[in-house]
Each structure stands twice: as structure tokens, then as C-alpha cells.
Structure 1
């Protein structure tokens, strides 16, 4: 037979311990529902928290990589648009220099064609120097390359700059190119044809670079999404499970309170032994 004592209520002690255990579990479940996380701090699970934090840092680093790649693709795309404009200008210049080789033209007509040629030549310079994004221009000769980040380890991609300004190795026309005779027009015609061929090659290279950067942006985005999903698998709470658990714990809490109340009344049985 269990000892009946007014000094030590073992039943109440056990009931209180169980109630405290239930309350602790209930608080944990409520916290998980409120935060949506089963591992919200290192106290919940130190190893998992450390892994999740490491992965979170990598995701943040990937955001920096994405921003760098987005800037780079914008720089290249602006250069491409300008380069296509320069190619169109060269086509017009080719037409003009071919027309100027007509021996039936008088000097006045040829001079008018030369003025148009010079205006287009100057326009090439304006277009090449205006192709700037975020302070960077890769077709005016001011840059040798652009190197965006490609990984969280600091690796970089490299896009070679293409000098499409007049007087360079691609647009071989000099900054003072013009003509005043059939012979001079023929010489400029040849220079324009070579420049047009060179610009087409440069545009092909820039187009390939833009496509490569865009593909890498897609890869980085998918990698970031996969890492975030992995973090979620580690730390996210199963809210359906926690909801069901909460209901059970709330019921268990009410029963624990009643059990403690009953246990606290046990010492009063002693009074009946004394006829009270």
C-alpha cells in the first residue's frame, strides 16, 4: 500500500512533471507553427542549423553572381544593339561608295555622296561611344573585356571587347575617310566591305557571349532554387503534422491539469482517518 503523507504528494509531483513535459512539447509545436520552421535556431538542432546556415550563405552568394551576370548580359546586349546599328550604317556606306564609282557622275554629285559618307562615318563613332551600360562600353576601345562572376568561389567568365569605332582593326575606315574621285571611292568601297565583314564577325562573337551568359544565368537560378528547396527540407516544419500534434497536446494538457488537480486533493483523504 502506498504511503499516505501530507508532506510529500508523489502523485502531484508525477502529474506536475507530466504536465510540464506536455507544456514544453506544446510550446515547441506552437513555435513551429508560428515560424514555419522545425529548426529555427541552433538550440533546436545544432548540426542541421549549421548546415542550413552554410547553404543560406551560398544562396546569398549566388544572388551576387546573378546580379553580376545580369549586368554583364546588359552590357553585351547594348553593345550588340549598337553593333547592329553600325552594321546597318556600313551597308549604307557601301551603297554610297559604289554609287560614287559611277564615271557618269559629275563632281558635284560625287561631292554630295561624299558628304553623306562622312556623316555616316561620324555616326559610327557616335553609336560606338554611346553604347554604354552602367558606365561600361565594350565597343568603343575603352575596355579590353568584361568579366562577370560565374560562381560563389569567385570564378569569372570573360567576354572580349570589340572595338567598333572608326580607325580600329574591325572598322578599318579612318576617322577622316572620304573620297573625291572614282579611284578614292573604290578604295573606300573596299575598306567598307572589309569593315562590314569584320563587324559581322564581331557581332557573332558578342552574340555567342550573350547567349552563354544568359544560359549561365538560367543555371544559377535553377541552382539557387534547388539549394533553397534543400534548406526547406532540412528546417521547414510539416504544418499539417504540427497542427494535428497541437490538437493532441492541447487535449493532453487539459487532462494533465485535471490529473494534477486530483492529485492535489489526495492529502485531504487523511482527514477522513481522523473522522473529519
Structure 2
């Protein structure tokens, strides 16, 4: 090898290797600091783009979950009101049956009729208050509600089931007159209303189950998307830790190699000593 004070090939090679080691070390330290193998488009444009798109899809599902939870609560409130309505109808039937007893005196009959009318009015109160966030699927103010079902804006539609007096075949004037025969006739009317109410509640219950199942699916989908993004972007910290130790050792050796290579031209001085 030519001895030259202008060109030190050994030092140049040692410096190149040291620079490469320093670059790898910087990359490894960045991965350890961020916890990501791909933290920017500069690291790997295609993978970074895929990860960002999937991460955006996962984030958008938060809005879907919020919408479904509102729907879930709206239906649950209607179901609670429906339970109250069926209980009230059962008691109204009981009062009508008791009033159909021909052996009752007028005072007892009128007391039963007053109880019947009070129970009827409570149905209206229960259904009117069956709202969540100002929305109801039981009071007849809406025919259907649409909640978000996916990140593309697809809707989960719930058809309203009116549980008001008119919705179950009764009215605010439904009562029986002052005879036991009229009270007996009312038993069939209330029974029909009770059947209508329970059928509507069964449909709302099915809708509630559907919302619950879809909400569970959205949660699992979001978890899967997050795990997929992690597989694309996250760094294996155990691997990076081992690599860090190796590169630090390699860096130290590179510095020593460069130091040795820089001392080589000094040997030329011995050639000029007398």
C-alpha cells in the first residue's frame, strides 16, 4: 500500500464504517424512543400509509360506537317504559275484572273505576317520559331512528313502536260506565291492548339485542384494526435492545479503528529522521 500524507485510505474506510454504524445506531435509538419501527413516511412510505389509513378507520369507529350506544340507551329507555305499561295494563285488567262483580256496591264500583282511570293516565305519563337525549321510539313522535353501523356511514335502523294509549288501541277516554257488564267488556279490551304492547316490546327487545351484538362486533373490529396497525408500525423492542448493545460495541470499535488509521501517516516521519 502506498504511503501518503494526502490520502489515508484506511482512515477513509474506517470513517465510512463508523458513519454507517452511527446511522444504524440513530435509527435503533429512534425506534426505542418512539416504540415504532415505522414512525414517519421517511422510514417506509408504503407501510406508513397503510398504517395511517387503518388507524384512521379504527378512530372513526369511535363515532360509530357512540352512535350505537345512544341507540342502545334510547331503546332501553323505551323497554323500561314498556315494562311499566304492561304492568299498568295488568293492573287495569285486574280492576276491570274486580268491577265486573255484580255483588259490588256503588261505592266499591266507583273506587275501582277511579283506580282504573288513574292507571290509564299513568300509561301516558310513562310513555311521554320515555326519552333519551330528547329522542323516543315509544311515544309516537318518530317512525324510525337510524344510527351509525360502520365507518362508511351505513345505518342501523330501528323502527319505532308506539306504546302510547292510541298505539296500543286505547284512548284517554277509555273507561267503563257504571255497570258491571261494561266493566266485563273492558276486560277484553285491556287484554287486547296488553297483547299489542307485549308484541311491540318483543320487537324492541330484538332490536336492542341487535344493537348490542353489533356494538360488540364494532369493539372487536376496532381491536383487530389496532392490532394490525401495531403489526405494521410497532418495533420489536427486545430485538432493538439487543441490536442497540451490538451497535454500541461496534461504534466503540469503529472509533478505535479510525484512531489507529489516523496514526498511520505519522510513521512516515521516521523515514526522514537522520
Give 1:177's aligned residue.
174
How far does residue 167 in structure 1 lie from its aligned partner after superposition?
A: 2.1
- Distance in 1 of aligned mates of 2:193 and 2:229: 53
1:102 matches 2:105: no
Q: How many residues align?
A: 273
1:185 to partner: Cα distance: 1.7
Q: 5 Å matches for 1:1-276?
A: 2-168=1-167, 171-180=168-177, 181-275=179-273
Paired with 2:234 and 2:27, the residues of 1 have a C-alpha distance of: 14
Matches of 2:183 and 2:174 in 1, distance apart? Answer: 10
- The answer to whether the 8 A contact 1:173-1:188 is kept is no
What CA distance in whole angstroms lies between the structure 2 residues aligned with 1:132 and 1:20? 68
Mapped contact 1:94–1:193 kept (Cα < 8 A): yes
- In the TM superposition, what is the alpha-carbon distance from 1:183 to its structure 2 partner? 3.2
Distance, in Å, in 1 between the alignment partners of 2:122 and 2:36 is 60
Unaligned runs of 5+ in 1: none
1:106 Cα deviation from its structure 2 partner? 2.0
Deviation at 1:250, TM superposition (A): 0.2
Partner secondary structure for residue 158 of structure 1: strand
1:53 CA drift (Å): 0.7
What RMSD, in angstroms, separates the aligned Cα atoms of the two structures? 1.2
Task: Compare 7-16 and 48-57 and name the one that shifted more.
Answer: 7-16
Q: What is the CA deviation profile of residues 111-134 of structure 1, one whole-angstrom value per residue up to 9, with x for unaligned ones?
A: 111111111111101110111111
